[in-house]
Amino acid sequence: MTQKWLKNRFQTSRRRFLGSAAGAAALGAFWTEQDLQGWQQNVRTASKPSDLKITDLRVAHVVGAPMRCPLIRLETNQGIHGLGEVRDGASPTYALMLKSRLVGENPCDVDRIFRKIKQFGFHARQAGGVCGIEMALWDLAGKAYNVPAYQMLGGKFREDIRLYCDTTESSDPKVYGQRLKQRRDEGFTFLKMDLGVRLVEKIPGTVTAPLGVSSRTTSRIEHMFTGMELTEKGVALMADYCGAVREAVGWDIPLAADHFGHIGVNSCIRLGKALEKYNLAYLEDMIPWMYTDLWKQITDAVNIPTLTGEDIYLKEPFIELCKAHAVDMIHPDLASSGGLLETKKIGDMAMEYGHAMMMHFAGTPVSFMANLHCAAATENFIALEFHSQEVPWWEDMVTGIPKPIVNKGFAKVPQGPGLGVELNDEVVKQHLAPGTSYFAPSTEWDNERSWDRLYS
Ligand SMILES: [Mg+2]
């Protein structure tokens, strides 16, 4: 190669670079000649990661997806932004209250920032702010380094993520069986049904309960404290219902059961035993996740896998469950369990104890993408929940990814940088919560301060 050729190549590349969006953004920062030469040698510098700073956090509150989902957007000093999502049904305040702790931080330090803010999360929806921000940090780090999130988690075990689909229940097992069969016909390869005590409790002789106690009055009372127990007749009718659904969908496809209602541990065991003959994939959330010893009683007594975890925050409670082999499978919701990296850690830990990971999810494509990256990067993953098969505009909320996103019961892991999608502003604006605006300024949260130290 001649000197002249090298000089020409350098100048052409430099012109192309400075004319590009990345070049324009980079001019705002300080780029040395060395940086430009690094870029010339195909070092991917989509941004200037070491100088990247968070400048703002804004929200857009989507409704009808079918659930309420607050989207968040982290802005930066380099023109790139990160998308995240607070867990379904939770308040955007959980994220906004963290804004002042994030502004000025380099979003590429995902784990360090997560450890700084994780004290402001708790189980279920209260984890939504911390986890939504963690998603947005990965989106930013991926955009800054121009790699997909799964790559930063250690690469992928699979391209296609298996989904299982929420399906509206019916008191008629024939109707419900047909709806589930329809899922199978749509290409879904893993099914889950609701199988609650409410199916039978109006039939005399099925449930024993203190006067005035029913599935309607006990939804906020922990299962063991309701005094509700199934009779032999109740157990038999629920098992028959399950059997009719099993016949409709076929015996070769995994079929799980959830939402049993708040019945005592002994009823769970007797029902579980009666369901064994239908070879279910797992029994979900029969009792609250935090009762490790009671879970172990159910798991040891029933020859169907048990599963819990969609409301657990952080890895420690999962470690306790897995170490005790109190459940057979775990079921984190990434928007509660601590985000992408913590959920991969949870999956890896569970695998060491011999337990598989299903993933709970209900939200928009933003959080869905976070789940796909994590599911791709976690070896013992089986299937991811999906609730929006009947929402026609769900996929239209995002761009930058091949459609359909959900295709015959699977979704492909995104290949774009970060989470791999951008919002379709027009579509999202059509589905905002009444009285809210699209990523409006959140200056009222700029000065939220407290002395956050956890020890002295
Ligand atoms: Mg569930």
Q: What are phi and psi of 162, to 5 degrees?
A: -75, 135
Q: Is 296 inside a domain boundary?
A: yes
Question: 333-391, pLDDT tens digit by residue?
Answer: 999 999 999 999 999 999 999 999 999 999 999 999 999 999 999 999 999 999 999 99
Do 128 and 166 lie in a common domain? Answer: no
Do 261 and 389 lie in a common domain? Answer: yes
Give exposure, 112-126, as e/b (b: 16+ Cβ within 10 Å): ebbebbbebbeebbb
* 81 C-alpha to ligand 1 centroid (Å): 32
Work out whether strand 255-258 and strand 191-194 pair parallel, antiparallel, or are unpaired: parallel
Do 239 and 121 lie in a common domain? Answer: no
What does pLDDT average to over the chain? 92
Q: Is 319 inside a domain boundary?
A: yes
CA-closest candidate to residue 245, choices 306, 174, 313: 174
Map tokens 């000093």 to a residue: 77
Do 239 and 342 lie in a common domain? Answer: yes
* 310 C-alpha to ligand 1 centroid (Å): 7
Map tokens 């889950």 to a residue: 192
CATH number of 197's domain: 3.20.20.120
* 153 C-alpha to ligand 1 centroid (Å): 26
CATH number of 89's domain: 3.30.390.10
Q: Is the pLDDT of residue 24 over 50?
A: no
Q: Is 354 inside a domain boundary?
A: yes
Do 272 and 378 lie in a common domain? Answer: yes
Question: 122-160, pLDDT tens digit by residue?
Answer: 999 999 999 999 999 999 999 999 999 999 999 999 999
Q: Provide the residue type at 309 as one letter.
A: G
Task: Tell me the percentage of the chain whose pLDDT exceeds 90.
Answer: 88
User: Does pTM surpass 0.75?
Assistant: yes
Do 287 and 403 lie in a common domain? Answer: yes
The confidence band for 48, taking pLDDT boundaries of 50, 70 and 90, is confident
Do 322 and 218 lie in a common domain? Answer: yes
Q: Is the pLDDT of residue 33 over 70?
A: no
Strands (E), 350-441: 356-359, 381-386, 398-399, 406-407, 410-412, 422-423
Do 204 and 321 lie in a common domain? Answer: yes
Do 138 and 177 lie in a common domain? Answer: no
Contact 305, 329 (CB under 8 A): yes
Q: Is 343 inside a domain boundary?
A: yes
* 284 C-alpha to ligand 1 centroid (Å): 6
- Please report the pLDDT score of residue 6 as a whole number: 42
State both tokens at 406.
């959900």
Do 251 and 303 lie in a common domain? Answer: yes
* Prior bond of 404 cis (ω within 30°): yes
Domain limits for position 66? 50-147+437-445
- Give the chain's domain count: 2
Q: Is 408 inside a domain boundary?
A: yes
Do 237 and 330 lie in a common domain? Answer: yes
* 285 C-alpha to ligand 1 centroid (Å): 6
